[in-house]
Chain A
């Protein structure tokens, strides 16, 4: 079948010569013959949903491939894919990436101890402040990794899922030393984002960030801490209404005893019989001396006390539970389709999840193939991170920004800062949480900041000033693809703009731009 092409009429309606040299140059895109207007709108809406927001690169990929091949490429991303050179260079230069997590944790722990050992109050305060700043820098580097990938990675679906899984298995950066861990946690989830759910679950369960965040490091035989056991069933796997009991939570907590963290070089003192059961993998430790070796009864099944293997087996069992297929499919559908996803769609996805042993790519393929998915396009309200990332993608259309700090600031103002959700439930995914009056006013102000200046996005760290410029949104991408999908009221408002900056601001403030 010959697929419709998105029409990009390069040059039409551009505002004079580029104010930002080199910005908005979609001339490389092939000019395609026009097809039916509905086709273009539907294609664009699908691109907007599969990516962090449409830009010329995404349109180019779409035009190059069939729908099927485009989605296949997104569902099976090339792990060797690189970002455009300037963006990749920024990623490669990040300090966080130069050392593995364990090294960072060790160095930071050393600094913390040195600061605590100081006896002079003022010197101690200063040293503690320096420690806090260094920790903040590690989390900021992680957020740069996230934002640069979201903006420029060709693997757009994988990047959306990276955010989704982090949120699904949420941890909060300000607990303990988690700021030194969120970068690694995010990278581990990214690598498995379209793989098997059981891998994602085990990765999360055994990552020091999660072990610390939900207190499983405190969970020991006869001194049970149920925090992780409860959340892993309620939020990560079965879902709150799956019919498990408080007793199941307690019994699963007993299974999870001994799974903790160890940031030192030392190995705990163990009885000879316990030594073969000891497991150490980076900072993740299974300490058999803290494990309850008794028999447990989890979800109606007797579980023999075996240690590490027992934990992994129970996590796999949770991952394969039918309630998990339903719960995870539902969460994916809320994120990718609608606040209240049609039950038929969730059924279809759950079946695909079940049959494929929790293969996320297969589950999402079922979602893409469903009529309910197509019917939902352009009707999902963007959460703040989608709003901010899509605005920068559209405004600078492939021209890499040099500084993500303004984006982080906007996300914090909008209440969806990266790694900043304190509670394990993750940020809400529905419109109600993000459509307050204060939120909308703030979005318009951010639209204005992006539309009417470079907003600090092109001031490299250490550089004295930003280039005084603004993006050109009235470009080929708009006139060729976006514009025709916009409603009359928005067009009237755009026609009333008194300057290109105002035009940009209105476009990014428009109701069409608030949905994906």
Chain B
């Protein structure tokens, strides 16, 4: 596809008039990607409470072995916690470089234990009591605040629908990158379609749709002329076609867009609802975690120097039961473990409010408690990243008490 051809043609269209601006991302401004693990992943199989004998009692079939005790044993992170061994080549190096932190006992106070209800309430980020506004997600409110403060706030969802979290007054495009097919329309056809909409209220939206997709193809497939600030080696690297499969390939494509153009992104990854046969250091869940870890490591790699400005937050709607169920799986629980990684993250630590993993510390006698409520946690993180005022944090998370736990 002749990109420049399209752009010159598009210039004749009311792109500028509609406020569509696709500026290249500038260095030094934060780039935040939120990764939502839909289905509630089993956090105790990621961050293993290796010092807790209670853990080994409660999970006779699916516990991950104490460090050094088996081939697929946990990797020690500190005296209390170990990492699922499937992440040894992807996440452990980032943890050791102090660019990855884990926040255990994180989540929401919503106790419905319903996937949909809890995903929605987290994405909306509104107080749990009172009427919900389904047209106002917390990431859109963050984009509003950033825009008003002249912070770069170009936002995009890498999902097939605009997720709840990006609904709101800032217009946010969405684009699936799991399999970026060749565009259906060449420049002439795009022009014909956009031409039909000229002068109509949808003109800007239609042009933006073509432009976002076109720019995405360009950023992902590479164009040496555009990468002025990059070394020859980097240019050569970015021209390589992406061959990685699955989430790793998608994560590399996302990284290229976040590196070049966007400052606020959202993607979701499913397949975590492990009620049956979840495995331990190997098996179904370990494979899913490995794929996720590889993807996140690829994201860091693909960002290049922009990794210094990048923050990735991995969240999930709730945790799972601490005790294994009768099917070598786990059921819907409460507290989870969030991951925070990035070039500027103060990582290599397990941070936030914690409690020893023992019978008395479980919530409702079955789940991890929530000690690090996500709105306070993210409110604190955004305050640190952007220097938001108290009032601005209130706009993003109404009624919250932001809690900086030294992540950035």
* Stretch of B209-217, B380-388, B400-408 with 4 or more beta carbons under 8 angstroms from chain A: B209-217
Q: Is the interface of A mostly helix, strand, loop or mixed?
A: helix
**CB pair B205 A124 closer than 8 Å:** no
Contact in complex: B209, A445 (CB < 8 Å): no
Cβ of B394 within 8 Å of any chain A Cβ, yes or no, is no
Q: Which residues of A have CB within 8 Å of B327?
A: 121, 124
Establish whether residues B120 and A489, one from each chain, have CB atoms under 8 Å apart when the complex forms: no
Q: Which residue of A lies closest to B164 (CB)?
A: A423
A59 to B213, CA, bound (A): 39
In the complex, whether A374 has a CB less than 8 A from a CB of chain B is no
Chain A residues near B212 (CB, 8 Å)?
437-438, 441
Surface stretch bound by A, among B46-54, B168-176, B262-270: B168-176
What is the distance, in angstroms, from A12's C-beta to the closest C-beta of chain B? Answer: 22
Query: Which residues on A sit within 8 Å (CB–CB) of B199?
Result: 489
User: Interface centre among A441, A448, A506, A509, by most B CB within 10 Å?
Assistant: A441
On chain B, the residues within 8 Å of A125 by CB distance are 276-277
Complex: A122 Cα to B327 Cα, angstroms: 11
B120: A residues at CB distance < 8 A: 422-423
Residue from B135, B172, B196, B202 within 8 A of A435 (CB atoms): B202
Residues of chain B contacted by A435 (CB below 8 angstroms) = 202, 205
Closest to B162 in A: A436
Query: B208 within 8 Å of A by Cβ?
Result: yes
Tell me if A240 is interfacial: C-beta within 8 Å of chain B: yes
User: A438 to B162, Cβ gap below 8 A?
Assistant: yes
- Cβ contacts under 8 Å, B328 to chain A: 121
- B208 in contact with A444 (CB, 8 Å): no
Taken residue by residue from 399 to 424, chain A's Cβ proximity to chain B (1 for < 8 Å, 0 otherwise) reads as 00000000000000101000000110
- B282 within 8 Å of A (CB atoms): no
Per-residue interface assignment for chain A, residues 112 to 136, with 1 indicating a CB less than 8 Å from any chain B CB and 0 otherwise: 0000000001101100100000000
Report the Cα distance A130→B406, complex, angstroms.
48
Tell whether, in the assembled complex, residue A441 and residue B210 are in contact, meaning their CB atoms are under 8 Å apart. yes
Output the least CB separation between A487 and chain B (Å).
Answer: 8
Determine the distance from Cα of A490 to Cα of B199 in the docked complex, in whole angstroms.
12
Among A488-516, those with CB < 8 Å from B are 489-490, 492-493, 496-497, 502, 505-506, 509-511, 514
Asked whether A511 and B196 contact (CB < 8 A) given A121-B276, A435-B205, the answer is yes
Query: Beyond A437-B173, A489-B195, is A502–B189 a contact (Cβ under 8 Å)?
Result: yes
Cβ–Cβ contact A440 & B195, under 8 A: no
Does A49 belong to the interface (CB within 8 Å)?
no
Q: Of A121, A128, A437, A489, which contacts B209 at CB under 8 A?
A: A437
Say if the beta carbon of B24 comes within 8 Å of chain A: no
State in angstroms the CA–CA spacing of A502 and B186 once bound together: 12
| Binary interface encoding of chain B residues 183-198 relative to chain A, with 1 for a CB under 8 A from any of its CBs, else 0 | 0110001001101111
B228 lies within 8 A of chain A by Cβ: no
Contacts of B210 in A (CB 8 A): 441
Bound Cα distance from A432 to B131, whole angstroms: 21
Distance in Å from the Cβ of A288 to the closest Cβ of chain B? 29
**Could you say which residues of chain B place their CB within 8 Å of the CB of A510?**
196
Q: How many A residues, CB 8 Å from partner?
A: 36
Given contacts A423-B120, A444-B184, contact A514 B192 (CB under 8 A): no
Is A425 interfacial (CB 8 A cutoff)? yes
The verdict on B134 contacting chain A, using a C-beta distance below 8 Å, is: yes
Which of B160, B171, B200, B276 is close to A511, meaning CB atoms less than 8 Å apart? B200
Q: Does A479 contact B (CB under 8 A)?
A: no
Within 8 A of A (CB), among B207-261: 208-210, 212-213
- How many angstroms between the C-alpha atoms of A448 and B183 in the bound complex? 11
- Of all chain B residues, the one with the shortest Cβ separation from A445 is B184
Q: Inside 8 A of A124's CB, which chain B residues have their CB? A: 276-277, 327
Which of B120, B162, B196, B208 counts the most A-chain CB atoms under 10 A from its CB? B196
| A489 and B191 alpha carbons, distance in the complex (Å) | 12
Task: Decide if B161 is an interface residue (CB 8 Å cutoff).
Answer: yes
Q: In the complex, what distance in Å separates the CA atom of A496 from the CA atom of B210?
A: 19
> What distance in Å separates the Cβ of A402 from its nearest Cβ neighbour in chain B?
24
Most buried by B among A422, A440, A489: A440
Assess the B200–A413 pair: CB atoms within 8 A.
no
A172 interfacial contact with B, CB 8 Å:
yes
- The one of B172, B185, B198 that contacts A444, using a Cβ cutoff of 8 Å: B185
Complex Cα spacing A415 to B162, Å: 9
Q: Are B185 and A514 in contact (CB under 8 A)?
A: no
| Chain B residues with CB under 8 A of A422 | 116, 120
Interface 0/1 of A157-172, CB less than 8 Å to B: 0000000000000001
- Asked if B206 lies at the interface with its beta carbon under 8 angstroms from chain A, I say yes
**A379 to B: closest C-beta gap in Å:** 11
- The listed residue (B116, B160, B276) touching A413 by CB distance below 8 A is B160
Q: Are the C-beta atoms of B134 and A121 separated by less than 8 Å?
A: no
Instruction: Let me know if A493 and B205 touch, CB within 8 A.
Output: no
Contact B202 A514 (CB under 8 A): yes
| List of B residues within 8 angstroms of A506 by Cβ | 192-193, 196
In the complex the two chains form, what is the Cα distance from A437 to B227 in whole Å? 26
Q: How far does the Cβ of B168 sit from chain A's closest Cβ, in whole Å?
A: 11
Interchain CA distance A128-B276 in the complex, whole Å: 10
The interface centre, meaning the residue of A122, A496, A497 with most chain B CB atoms within 10 A of its CB, is A496
> Which A residue's beta carbon lies closest to that of B157?
A438
Q: Which of B173, B196, B209, B277 contacts A493 (CB 8 A)?
A: B196
- Chain A residue at minimum C-beta to C-beta distance from B210: A441
Q: A423-B120, A437-B173, A511-B196 are in contact. Are A415 and B160 (CB under 8 A)?
A: yes
How far does the alpha carbon of A440 sit from the alpha carbon of B196 in the complex, in Å?
13
8 Å CB contact of B192 from A436, A437, A496, A511:
A496
* B142 CB to nearest A CB, Å: 18
Q: How far is it, in angstroms, between the C-alpha of A138 and the C-alpha of B2 when the chains are bound?
A: 46
How far apart sit A422 and B184, CA to CA, in the bound complex (Å)?
31
Distance from A170 Cβ to chain B, minimum over Cβ atoms (Å): 12
> How near does chain B come to A99, taking the closest CB pair, in angstroms?
29
CA of A435 to CA of B173, assembled, Å: 11
CB < 8 Å neighbour of B195 from A121, A172, A492: A492
Please tell me which one of the listed residues B161, B198, B202, B213 contacts residue A489 in the complex, with CB atoms under 8 A apart. Answer: B198
Beyond A413-B160, A438-B173: 5 further Cβ-contacts under 8 Å?
A: A121-B277, A436-B205, A437-B173, A437-B206, A448-B185
Could you jot down 13 A-B contacts, CB within 8 Å?
A121-B276, A121-B327, A122-B277, A125-B277, A413-B160, A422-B120, A435-B205, A438-B160, A440-B209, A444-B184, A489-B198, A493-B193, A506-B192
